[in-house]
Amino acid sequence: MRISKLCGALLIIILFQLHITDVMAQNVVKVMSYNIRLDVKSDGENWWEVRKNKVADLMNYYEADFIGAQEVQYHQLQYLQSQMPQYQYIGVGRDDGKNEGEFSCIFYKAAQYKLLKQGTFWLSATPDSVSRGWDAACNRVCTFGLFQHKKSKQKLWVFNTHLDHVGTIARLNSVKLIADKINELTKKENVQVLITGDFNSKPTEPPYQYFASSFINTRNACKTPYGGADTWNSFAFDKLPNGCIDYIFMKQNAAVVKFATITDSYEKKYPSDHFPVLATIAL
């Protein structure tokens, strides 16, 4: 009888430990931001057709739960989907709200996360319709989704964007618009928000500083970030990268277990003219 009770107690302890381990694993999320560079034949040896398998291989290797990707044209999106079957995506083309123009899409692991809500808005004075904002050179969008972890039932908002490369007024107004949208969507429910994107703004510039006043740069929150801060490499393998413009922000303070600027290369070339950044966050 004593042996039976002892075995039962040990079984309870083991099951409890397994439960705690499982819960801890579920509360850690890996998120990547990656500007993959659109398909431009004038890129020559760095043309999309030459490097597309390298981009897909990188995404598959690092196994992020969420990937906020920028400069993604529809045919690029279709290729990545064919090479990354574990991911589904949300997002629309910025030029027609369907498939035309670049996407600021979000890839997510469909086996682990359930999509509850999704949307895209334009970075302009008329965000609910296809439009160009202020002094921007292009239409710009922000895509967002509310996800729920299938096991833990924990919810998480993910936003992804690409700010204009020309318009200084547009960049500043865009981050204000994104911040307002986040506050609007989260005011009724206390849910963590992760924001990925190519902000085309360095830490010394007003758009970054405005956004960083309300949201936490996960690189800065990590005690030991791996790799340099600069993320734009311009495909120049023999030169130092010039500018930190790609970020992963979070709304609520959380432990950033790891943060890396990924500088993987092949044959003295980079998969894109931006380095991806990857954060591992304990929610």
CATH classification at residue 139: 3.60.10.10
Q: What is the mean pLDDT of residues 4-19?
A: 44
Residue 212's H or E segment, with its range, is: helix 206-212
Ordered DSSP codes for 2-51: HHHHHHHHHHHHHHHHHHHHHHHHHTEEEEEEEE-----GGGGGG-HHHH
**Which domain does 253 fall in, by range?**
28-282
Residue 85 included in any domain: yes
**How many domains does the structure of the chain reveal?**
1
Given this model, what pLDDT does residue 24 score?
47
**What are the angstrom distances between the C-alpha of 253 and each of 198, 212, 217?**
22, 13, 10
Average the pLDDT over each of 13-17, 55-59, 191-195, 197-201 and give the range with the smallest value: 13-17
Residue 172 included in any domain: yes
* Other C-beta atoms lying within 10 Å of the C-beta of residue 115: 15
Residue 23 included in any domain: no
| pLDDT category of residue 171 using cuts at 50, 70 and 90 | very high
Residue-level length of the chain: 283
Given this model, what pLDDT does residue 44 score?
98
Given this model, what pLDDT does residue 19 score?
41
Both tokens assigned to 30? 């890996």
Residue 233 included in any domain: yes
Sheet holding 28-35, edge to edge: 87-90, 106-109, 66-70, 28-35, 277-282, 255-261
β partners of residue 279: 31, 259
Residue 202 included in any domain: yes
Residue 61 included in any domain: yes
Average the pLDDT over each of 3-12, 80-89, 235-244 and give the range with the smallest value: 3-12
CB contact at 8 A, 182 and 191: no
For residue range 237-257, what is the model confidence (pLDDT) as tens digits?
A: 999 999 999 999 999 999 999
Residue 2 included in any domain: no
Residue 266 included in any domain: yes
| pLDDT category of residue 20 using cuts at 50, 70 and 90 | very low
Q: Are strands 106-109 and 155-162 parallel, antiparallel or unpaired?
A: unpaired
CB contact at 8 A, 231 and 262: no
Given this model, what pLDDT does residue 4 score?
53
For residue range 40-70, what is the model confidence (pLDDT) as tens digits?
A: 999 999 999 999 999 999 999 999 999 999 9
Backbone angles phi, psi at 200, to 5 degrees: 45, 35
Both tokens assigned to 153? 């039932």
SS3 235: coil
